[in-house]
Structures are given as structure tokens and as C-alpha cells.
Amino acid sequence: MGMVNRDDYRFLKIADALFAVNQKVNLIGVILEYSIPKKSKGTDWFCSLRIVDGSHDNRGLLVNMFADTEGKLPKVDVLGDIIELSQIQMKTHNGEVYALFNKKFSAFALYEGKYGQSCNPYQTSSRYRHRNQDMTFVTGLRRWVEGFQLDTGAYVS
């Protein structure tokens, strides 16, 4: 018997994910901001991103990411690149909804943004599994971001 075709990897629009607090979701978005990786208070490494898509493009969604080592965190080439996030948990803190990347079960893939041609991500986490239909979403975001004004003041923090 073959694998059951499950809808585990359906991407939510960011606007819809804001209503999915305490649930695991899959998102794909354009990176608006990112922070340089730092050591957390514990043993992990930490960085944060802010992502947007056509449904939610004002402030974007904050994504907090944790990993065992700095090398397991995303290394974003340029603002405007695209990140695919699988099995991330939606949370809320002080009234702001954010996404939490859990090193035990979440996965990511980074793609070139606006001017990218490649169907292959330039960085992936160990849990990432490529699916052919993902490219449809990446291509759609590449087209969308052509008309979106990235705030060039939103550099690395």
C-alpha cells in the first residue's frame, strides 16, 4: 500500500496563520528583516526573521528560530529572499502573534528571491523534504515581490 496523500504540507497565508495560535503550520514568505545569529540564554543559538506575503505585507510576521549550532540557522543572502517553513508553531507574546521554529520538528529551506531562477534552495535544514509543488509557491512569491517595495532601512539587526 502506497503512502497516503496527506495535506500536511499545505502552506497557509500569513494572514491566516495569525489565527492559528498554538497550532503547527507551514508557511512560505519573503524575508523582510533578519537578525545575526546569537547565543541564547541556554545552550542554543537564536535568530529572528520577519516575513511577508501577499496576504500580510505591512509589518510582516516575526519568526523566532532556535538551533543547536549557529550553522543550523538560516544564513540569508539578501533581504527579499524566500523562506519555506514547515511545522512551525504559532505563538503569542504581549499581544503579538509570532512563529516559533522548533529545532526538534521544524524545517526550513531558503531560496533566491526576486531575481532567482533556481528551483533548488541554497540552504536547507536537516529535516527539510523537497516537494515539486513547492516551486509553484516560490515562483508565485518571486512574481509578487517584484511589485513589493522592500524597506531598505530594515537591515540586519
Note the pLDDT of residue 132: 77
103 found inside a domain: yes
Note the pLDDT of residue 8: 45
Domain that holds residue 87: 14-146
122 found inside a domain: yes
Tell me which residue of 68, 27, 67, 69 sits closest to 50, measured CA to CA: 27
63 found inside a domain: yes
Tell me the sheet residues that pair with 82.
30, 111
Provide the domain count of the chain. Answer: 1
Sign of torsion over alpha carbons 70, 72, 78, 84: negative
Instruction: Check which CATH number belongs to the domain holding 31 and give it.
Output: 2.40.50.140
140 found inside a domain: yes
Sign of torsion over alpha carbons 123, 128, 133, 136: negative
Q: What is the pLDDT of residues 54-72, one digit of tens each?
A: 888 778 999 999 999 999 9
Phi/psi-derived region of residue 12, left when phi > 0, alpha when psi is between -120 and 50, beta in every other case: beta
Which residue's entry shows cell 523566532?
64
Q: What is the pLDDT of residues 5-33, one digit of tens each?
A: 444 458 899 999 999 999 999 999 999 99
Burial of 82 (0-12, 13-18, 19+ CB in 10 A): buried
26 found inside a domain: yes
64 found inside a domain: yes
pTM to 2 decimal places: 0.87
2 found inside a domain: no
22 found inside a domain: yes
Q: What is the pLDDT of residues 97-141, one digit of tens each?
A: 999 999 999 999 999 998 778 889 999 998 898 887 788 889 899
